[in-house]
Structure 1
Amino acid sequence: MDVSIVIPFLNESPNLLPLCEEIKAAMEPTGKQYEVLFIDDGSTDDGCELLEKARADMPQIKVVSFRRNFGQTAAMVAGLDYAEGEVVVTLDADRQNDPADIPSMLDKIDEGYDMVCGWRFDRQDTYLSRKLPSMLANRLISKITDVRLHDYGCTLKAMRKELAKRVTLYGEMHRFIPAVASGVGAKIAEVKVNHRARTAGESKYGISRTFRVVLDLITVKFLLRFHARPLHFFGMPGLALGGLGGALITYLTIARLFFGVPLGDRPLLIFAFMLVIIGLQFILFGLIGEMQTRTYYESQNKPIYHVRTTIGIEQDTPSKG
């Protein structure tokens, strides 16, 4: 298998068959052997039935159907797990990504890159609710992760199989795949891709995801830079708070011993002890929480999705390497 095309979807029935035709038109001229792996994230429409019927004319179609909605990150992880191609391509099911861009991304991979990310340089979305928040988020993510990209939110990406199998995602970290890949030493390129306005179905994203992006960004920064030395991340604010509390306690102790200043009715004493305790809690609780999450998903190899059925897939469990 040369190429695996991974497409998570949720209630995108009107877009699925036209998307399959576009993929077929884009891939057949390349002469590459490919599969189209649809990941149904708990859809309630007839998308899976349509795809199963479409396999009669396009046997490259394969479907993994979740028991319920687990989120786009879980669907993306399932796609990467089940993919068998030497190169894995991801794209959205809403047809805003153009499959005609896939061959050029494969050519870029052939130049020696491990991952190629799409850049929707002429994005066909509303400015205030989609483009402006995305632009600000891209700048923030690029600065914090040190992986400079114009468009982290573009699902259209291509990556080598060995990289796809090493990317570990959970929560809602699918948008940070380039940053995670960079953490394992991937060579990343960015290419301009076509972006089209949605013509069918409804968007699954709202402005509320901005807050989730910020929280996930903190996790990504921690995992990229401090996963082997977490105390450096949690210890700085903890030491700052604890140090300030200790300094206040020292000041109050000197004032009481050498200047006879009464401390019984001074709120500053309580505040100082609170700072010390909060500093310790910041270090301990934050460290324990983050490391437990990492241990749960990685060390114990816990799945973040559960499959109900598969179509066109012979193996019982996905390949991990």
Structure 2
Amino acid sequence: MKLSIVLPARNESEGLRELLPKLKDLFPDAEVLVVNDGSNDDTQEVCSHNAVVCISHPKARGNGAAIKTGARNANGEIVVFMDADNQHSPEDIFKLLDGIGEGYDMVVGARVFSTHAGVHRGVANMIFNWFASWMVGARVKDLTSGFRAVRRDKFMKFAYILPNGFSYPTTITMSFFRAGYGVSYRPIMAMQRKGHSHINIWRDGVRFLLIIFKVGVLYSPLKIFFPVSAGLAIAGVGNYIYSYFSVGRFTNMSALLLLAALMVFLVGLVSEQITALMYRDSDS
């Protein structure tokens, strides 16, 4: 099967200068695509020097947008996505391809905790992994890793829902699990990046949390809505018991809480059915 390697790059010429020759040496028959996401450095020249295809965005549109551009233009049946900043070792691609050869539809490079870019990111990733594992009912070892190999035909089914920012790994991982596709993880050691990170821990952290809940609702709405509904129902019953013994009647607050619990549950139930319809053709 033909292999395409997609590298989203925004001002990553320093890393590309080292990475591209290694990729060309290890995978001489692979298609290597660099998506230049509005860089103002010499990314284009580095790609030309290494005889690599470079697709440029006139202005920066985000990591996810670059991934989608690369996937749409890739010709390979298998596509490997990796960072252009030298955090990912080209040799680890073989691990991912081994997983594809075993029959999986997506194989993710799961970073060892000690190799995360800071303890705070490692802890945050553990929390995200726990939440995703609860949602999908399976062990998610690295929800946010951008180093992965996928079957292109499966990936393109979900390209339209991928965000343009740094949260595309979250969305595609949850989507593959929801569709029943095979997902596997291979341990990797993330290396020190070249250049500066474009991620702002506060700005992108808040956005990422919002996307986590958005994708959670997209994946299994009842797992989000039911706990909220149950909490409102418990509060309503508790308020009724209190008001019964204090004023001897059923109060408006109790009615409001119980009605809210019912409405939230029904919204979750309808959302669950809509989600099931959304994925009904995933295996066709």
- Listed as ranges, the gaps of 5+ residues in structure 1 are 262-267, 299-321
RMSD over aligned Cα atoms: 3.7
**1:180 and 2:175 matched:** yes
- Percent identity between matched residues is 28
Greater shift, 4-13 or 37-46, is seen at 37-46
Q: Aligned pair in 2 of structure 1 residues 122, 98: CA closer, same or farther (>3 Å)? A: farther
Q: Aligned pair in 2 of structure 1 residues 272, 161: CA closer, same or farther (>3 Å)? A: same
Which whole-Å deviations, capped at 9, do the CAs of 1:45-65 have from their partners, x for residues lacking one?
2212332x22xx52xx22222
Counterpart for residue 212 of structure 1: 207
Once the two structures are TM-superposed, the CA of residue 283 in structure 1 deviates from its matched residue by: 8.0
CA contact (8 A) 2:135 2:219 kept: no
Counterpart for residue 109 of structure 2: 118
Counterpart for residue 18 of structure 2: 18
2:111, 2:135 → 1: CA distance?
A: 21
SS class of match (1:190) = strand
SS class of match (2:189) = coil
Aligned partner of 2:40 among 44, 60, 75: 44
Q: Alignment length, in residue pairs? A: 270
2:139, 2:150 → 1: CA distance?
A: 17
Query: Residues 22-37 of structure 1 correspond to what in structure 2 (within 5 A)?
Result: 22-28=22-28, 33-37=29-33
**1:4 and 2:4 matched:** yes
Counterpart for residue 196 of structure 2: 202
1:185, 1:157 → 2: CA distance?
A: 18
Once the two structures are TM-superposed, the CA of residue 236 in structure 1 deviates from its matched residue by: 6.7
Equivalent AA in structure 1 for residue 41 of structure 2:
D
TM-score (norm 2): 0.76
**1:136 and 2:130 matched:** no
Once the two structures are TM-superposed, the CA of residue 121 in structure 1 deviates from its matched residue by: 2.1
Q: Aligned pair in 2 of structure 1 residues 80, 275: CA closer, same or farther (>3 Å)? A: same
**1:145 and 2:136 matched:** yes
CA contact (8 A) 1:183 1:224 kept: yes
2:234, 2:116 → 1: CA distance?
A: 49
2:93, 2:191 → 1: CA distance?
A: 15
1:90, 1:15 → 2: CA distance?
A: 15
**1:63 and 2:54 matched:** yes
CA contact (8 A) 1:88 1:164 kept: no
2:158, 2:66 → 1: CA distance?
A: 14
SS class of match (2:27) = helix
Counterpart for residue 69 of structure 2: 78
Once the two structures are TM-superposed, the CA of residue 191 in structure 1 deviates from its matched residue by: 1.2
TM-score (norm 1): 0.68
Once the two structures are TM-superposed, the CA of residue 127 in structure 1 deviates from its matched residue by: 3.9
Q: Aligned pair in 2 of structure 1 residues 95, 223: CA closer, same or farther (>3 Å)? A: same
Once the two structures are TM-superposed, the CA of residue 88 in structure 1 deviates from its matched residue by: 0.6
2:132, 2:260 → 1: CA distance?
A: 29
Once the two structures are TM-superposed, the CA of residue 143 in structure 1 deviates from its matched residue by: 2.5
Which whole-Å deviations, capped at 9, do the CAs of 1:271-318 have from their partners, x for residues lacking one?
568758977996899999x99xx9xxx9xxxxxxxxxxxxxxxxxxxx
Query: Residues 151-300 of structure 1 correspond to what in structure 2 (within 5 A)?
Result: 151-168=142-159, 169-171=161-163, 172=165, 173-176=167-170, 177-198=172-193, 200-208=194-202, 209-226=204-221, 234=225, 237=228, 241=232
Which whole-Å deviations, capped at 9, do the CAs of 1:120-171 have from their partners, x for residues lacking one?
2264345433323223332332223323132222211111122122223333
Equivalent AA in structure 2 for residue 7 of structure 1:
L
Which whole-Å deviations, capped at 9, do the CAs of 1:161-188 have from their partners, x for residues lacking one?
2212222333354122222111122112
Higher RCO (Cα < 8 Å, 6 or more apart): 1
CA contact (8 A) 1:39 1:79 kept: yes
Q: Aligned pair in 2 of structure 1 residues 235, 182: CA closer, same or farther (>3 Å)? A: closer
